[in-house]
Structures are given as structure tokens and as C-alpha cells.
Amino acid sequence: MVEVAVRREASIAHVDLDAMFAAVEQRDKPSLRGRPVIVGGVAGRGVVATASYEARRFGARSAMPTAEARRRCPPGTAFLTPRFPAYRKTSEVVMALLGELSPLVEQVSIDEAYVDLAAGGHELSSAGIRALGEQIKTSIAAATGGVTASVGVGTSKLVAKISSDLDKPNGLTIAAAGQENALLHPLPVTRLPGVGPATADRLHRSGIHTIGQLAGASLPQLLDWFGQAHGAGLYRLARADDDRPIVSEREAKSVSAEETFDADLTDRARLGTEIDLLATKVGGRLRDGGMSARTVTIKVRHHDFTTITRSTTRAQPTDQPRLIAQLARRLLADVDTSAGIRLLGVGVTALADFVQDDLFGTPEPDETSKEPATVPGREPGDQHTAATVGLWRPGQDVRHDVHGPGWVWGSGRGLVSVRFEGPTTGPGPVRTLAADDPALHAAEPPDWTSPGK
């Protein structure tokens, strides 16, 4: 098998912050350090955004329903709503550090980025790259108050990204030029981007379980199984053939998909199905580009070729096909389709470089959630506790005029329990207050660099 190296040296780094949301929570909340922490939607149909490594030992993971994570994790596990301003602030510090290393940094999400080390003029010997990787990890931990990163370095984005995931947390994996296949081939095919459950199942039925076995499949076989685009992509990726450049600025302003029908459609159920299919394409393209969007637009062309558009904008960006479809369906509900629809399109604009979404279970306005109130004094995440009640959300930053800064431990029945501590104070006491205490205020995320905060 011919080794494929897009570059002569391993000079593309993928930097991935380890369980970032949970790590920031543990940094800012000393009492949670070393304990299981779940960040995500805490009510109704909530979904886990991030599970700390302590929680992962019990089987909790990202994208798992929060209800399932509650069943798996022990009493005392903290279930917290996301604090995106805190995560964004940490992300900005990290990206600024990476920007000092190279003029070519491609941020692909709030917690990961590619760095072109060659463009930074660094010494690219094996020893030089290893020293630089260790420097990146050390600098990030120091600048973020202890949030760690795992770093992978390779000759391509593919190899760098897979490498960064092999030794988490706080790991460093370097795939030298010419060693790409040695690194990739023993790994399961699910490590490759684009190999989801359906693709993996088809490969497994053909006896292909590892990337090396996939590399042994012929191009005609893969084209027959998966079609031109997907089959050719798998053929290349299994051979570490990835020449994608690092792009420091995003040029895309919108992402869309549309379908022209052979016969004009009037059936609402069929149109709803088409919306779902188009939203799936749009969401996939957003994720492939590491982007999200706030504005959803539908395009409708009638039987007489008149064309209309309808749009709606959310407060937070998303890359979730389900939500894109939900919003597009609402827009279509206000359009008269009785005379027939010739073309239907779904698009998104107001793009962002990463998702800052609270939809990990936070219901849309037309959804309802009936979750029992938190019992003050119980551990956050206790099987008998819940989350969002009234104004106070679990994990929310607050400040009391007398007791100082802290965070919401639990709320309900007209009360709110607050743990008064910060990233540099050590574990603090819990006090239960009236939920409408005029001395209690919502606050900005604490400053992890200032003593006593």
C-alpha cells in the first residue's frame, strides 16, 4: 500500500479542548472538581452537550438524552445548563494564543481549531514539533485556568484531527510523514468523518471493520455501495488522502438546498417530508463546514413560477437539522400550497463559526416541559432534583449584595440555593434564599485570573 502524505512534514495541528463545557464549569466551581458533571438540557427532552471525564466513566456521553445520563450517573452528579458567555470567553483566549503561533488558524467550533505550523515558521523536525505541541498544551492550561487541550499533528487535517482524539485528555499524538497508514489502519472505520451508523453497518456486513480493511476495498466496490460522492470520499480518506487547506476566514454567507418536483405538489404531508430532507442536507453542510446559523429561510415557487421567501431568526445559532426543519415547517404553514408547489428550498444565513445553542433540550416556544422542582439542599443532579424553575437555572452565575459571587445550586418552591464560590476561592458554602431576594442578581461569568473571584 502506497503511503500518502500531502505535506513533507507533519505540520498541521488540530487542537481540541477536552470536555470544554464541563472543564470550564469545574474551573469556575471548585466544589465540582473531580466530580461527575453534565452540561446540557436539563428539562424535558434535554440532551447532553458535554460530559466530564468523571461522568464518562459511568457511560454518560455527548448527544445522550439527559434522562439516560441521570439514570447512569450516581447521586451527586451536577446537571448544569450551558453558560455560553463563559465558554466563549475561554475560547477567545485559546484562539488568541493559537493566533500567536501561526497566521493560519481555522477555528471549526468553539473548542477546536486547526493550526498551520509551517506558516508560523516553526522548526518542523520531530523534536521541534513535539516541543511545540507540549508548549501549546502548557500555554492553554496556564491561560485558561486549567482547561486542558489534546493536540494531534499530522500531514493533513484528517490525520491531525484523528490523532488529537487518540490520547485524551491532555494528550499529544504526532503522526510523522509516511506513518499515516500505520496510525489509521488499525482504527475502526467509525473514526473516519462521514462514517455514521448506516455506513458502518453496510461496511460491517461486508467484513470491513477497520480503516485498513476499508483501504483494501476497491473504488468500484465503494462506488457501488455508496454512490459516487460518498464512495469516492471513503476511498480517499481510507488512504489518508486529504488535501484540504487551512482556511483562516470563512467566506460562506449562506447554506441552502432545494428541490424541483416533476409534478406540482399540494399535499402538506409530502411537503413536510421534503422540508425534513432538505433540512438534513443543510444541517449536514453546516456541520461539515464547522458552522451554525441563526436565520432559516424557505423558498417556494408556485405552479405559475411566482416565487416567495419567508424567514425567521433565532436568538442563538444552530446546526441541528431537526430544529431547522421545525422552523421551516412553521414558515411553510403560512404559505398557500393549494395550487401546487413546483420548487421548495430551505436555506440558512447569519452564519457563525460555532454553535452557541441552548437547544440541548431547551424547548422551543411551542413545546412544554413539566419537570419537578429542585429540592433545595440536595446535591445538583440528585435523582430527585430537577432544574430550571422560575428565573434561576442550575449553574447560572449570580451575585449577592451581602454574600458575593456564586452560582445556582438548585431552585424551586419559591427558594433558590446558591453556592458562594468562584474559580480562585476554593469550595464555598451553600445558602438557601428566597427566589425573589432583591439582593440576588444574575451575573457575568467570573474572572478566573483574579484572586478571590
The x, y and z cell numbers of residue 377, run together, are 439542599
Over residues 35-53, the pLDDT tens digits come to 999 998 887 678 898 999 9
* Residue 234 contacts residue 222 (beta carbons within 8 Å): yes
Nearest alpha-carbon partner for 191 in 230, 163, 171, 228: 163
Q: Residue range 242-263: average pLDDT?
A: 78
Find the range with the poorest average confidence among 9-18, 240-249, 407-416.
240-249
Q: What is the 3-state secondary structure (H, E, C) of 346-367?
A: EEEEEEECCCCCCCCCCCCCCC
What is the residue-averaged pLDDT of the chain? 85
* Alpha-carbon span 166 to 133, nearest angstrom: 15
Per CATH, the number for 255-352 is 3.30.1490.100
Alpha-carbon dihedral 423, 396, 60, 426, rounded to 10 degrees: 20
Nearest to 256 by CA among 344, 315, 179: 344
Decide if 112 is catalytic.
yes
**pLDDT for res 6:** 59
Helix (H), strand (E) counts: the chain:
13, 17
Residue-wise pLDDT for 174-203, tens only, equals: 999 999 999 999 999 999 987 888 889 999
Q: What is the pLDDT of residue 5?
A: 43
Can you tell me the distance from the alpha carbon of 404 to that of 265, in angstroms, rounded to the nearest whole number? 61
For 32-51, give one letter per residue: b (16+ CB within 10 A) or e: beebbbbbbbbbbebbbbbb
Long-range contacts of 381-385 (CB under 8 A, 24+ apart): 381/36, 381/38, 381/70, 381/73, 381/75, 381/76, 381/77, 381/78, 381/79, 382/75, 382/76, 383/70, 383/75, 385/79, 385/410
Give the CATH number of domain 193-237.
1.10.150.20
pLDDT at 423 over 50: yes
Q: Is the pLDDT of residue 421 over 50?
A: yes
Q: What percent of the chain has pLDDT over 70?
A: 87
Q: Does 250 have pLDDT greater than 70?
A: no
Give SS3 for 27.
helix
Place of cell 523536525: 125
Residue 449 has what pLDDT? Answer: 85
Average pLDDT over residues 342-352: 84
- Domain segments of the chain: what residues? 193-237, 255-352
Catalytic entry in 9, 25, 54, 112: 112
State pTM to two decimals. Answer: 0.72
**pLDDT tens figures, 359-393:** 334 433 333 232 333 333 334 433 333 333 347 99
Side chain identity at residue 240, one-letter code: A
Rg (CA), the chain: 24
